[in-house]
Amino acid sequence: MRQQLISTRDLPRGEIEAVLDRAAEIDADPGAWYGTHAGQLLGLLFYEPSTRTRLSFEAAIKRLGGDTVNLGAVEASSVAKGETLADTARMVAGYADALVLRHPREGAAAMVSEFVDVPLINAGDGAGQHPSQTLLDLYTIREHAGLDDLDIGIMGDLKYGRTVHSLANALTTFGARQYFISPPSLALPDSVRYDLDQAGADVSQHAELEAVLDDLDVLYVTRIQRERFPDENEYQAVAGHYRIDADLLSTGPPDLKVMHPLPRVDEIAPDVDETDHAIYFDQARNGVPVRMALLDLLL
């Protein structure tokens, strides 16, 4: 197992499956893993808001018997005095056995990886990648729909959505058919599209969900990443366009599974929550066993 999880590009299928298999073992008997990493510390460096990712990493290391050292609010740390990311990370690497980094700049985790020699997990670098989210997404897909012969729609902000970029790379290694659904202005970045094409991905692009709904096993919905838009008017032009509700889903496959990395804003109506389509809260829950597995393998 490699020591750093920066991107799902070139992440071999075998390594992904090792994490998913370990997560399934943990899920089957979580108590057997409690305390197995007593005394180990996870350094949390979150330079951007986070709820699920931060809390599930925290829950994961604590369930394993370890603990966290947490940079906390950036305004309350020496970052506010102008300390560089490289210096902060190098120093926390001296306090902790592994690091989790979230940062608004694309490439931040790759940069930090040059400075630290403890395991490093990229928990989101701007509009770049979010590979540990992908592991829990794949775990959830495997549980509910299977990863073989998968038809998956990925809808919303494909341009700025880092969960999408990581997921698309990884799904390619499983041979999934990927249907990308977005307004033209939020289509996949050329760099991501290039990687998918190079890897022989089976992909198609669509402006409307209705065109592909009947073909799907899974629909992965994403939030429009408002904070990444250079211009609020551009955001307003696309906001609210891709919204699904129970009525719309009733016209599609009865066993379609709907996923979302969360947080949602208004792209999934609350009436979907009570349907059998909704698996996004289970998906969020899976963050703990999957991150326990990841930490167990990296540590």
142 binds ligand NCD (CB under 6 A): no
Nearer to ligand NCD, 4 or 133 (CB): 133
Say if residues 90 and 64 touch (Cβ distance below 8 Å): no
Residue 145, C-beta contacts closer than 8 angstroms, at least 6 positions apart:
217, 218, 257
Nearest distance in Å: CB 201, ligand NCD? 21
**DSSP notation for 36-48:** TTTT-EEEEEESS
Nearest distance in Å: CB 142, ligand NCD? 18
**DSSP notation for 76-92:** GSGGGGT--HHHHHHHH
Say if residues 215 and 179 touch (Cβ distance below 8 Å): yes
d(CA 240, CA 247): 17
43 binds ligand NCD (CB under 6 A): no
Q: Count of residues binding ligand NCD (CB under 6 A)?
A: 10
Nearer to ligand NCD, 66 or 261 (CB): 261
133 binds ligand NCD (CB under 6 A): yes
223 binds ligand NCD (CB under 6 A): yes
Task: Among 43, 66, 119, 124, indicate the residue that binds ligand NCD (CB under 6 A).
Answer: 124
Peptide bond into 253 cis (omega under 30): no
Task: Among 164, 168, 192, 262, indicate the residue that binds ligand NCD (CB under 6 A).
Answer: 262
52 binds ligand NCD (CB under 6 A): yes
126 binds ligand NCD (CB under 6 A): no
Nearer to ligand NCD, 162 or 177 (CB): 162
130 binds ligand NCD (CB under 6 A): yes
Nearest distance in Å: CB 127, ligand NCD? 9
CB atoms < 10 A from the CB of 158, how many? 22
**CA separation, residue 215 to residues 76, 93, 125, 256 (Å):** 49, 47, 32, 9
Nearer to ligand NCD, 88 or 134 (CB): 134
Nearer to ligand NCD, 91 or 110 (CB): 110
Nearer to ligand NCD, 6 or 252 (CB): 6
d(CA 280, CA 8): 21
53 binds ligand NCD (CB under 6 A): yes
Nearest distance in Å: CB 227, ligand NCD? 9
Angle formed at CA 266 by CA 260 and CA 272, multiple of 5 degrees:
60
x/- site string to ligand NCD, residues 151 to 190, per CB under 6 A?
-----------xx---------------------------
Strand partners, 5: 121
**DSSP notation for 111-171:** HHHTT--S-EEEEEETTS--HHHHHHHHHHHHHHT-STT-EEEEES-TTT-HHHHHHHHHH
Q: Which residues bind ligand NCD (CB under 6 A)?
A: 52-53, 124, 130, 133, 162-163, 223, 261-262
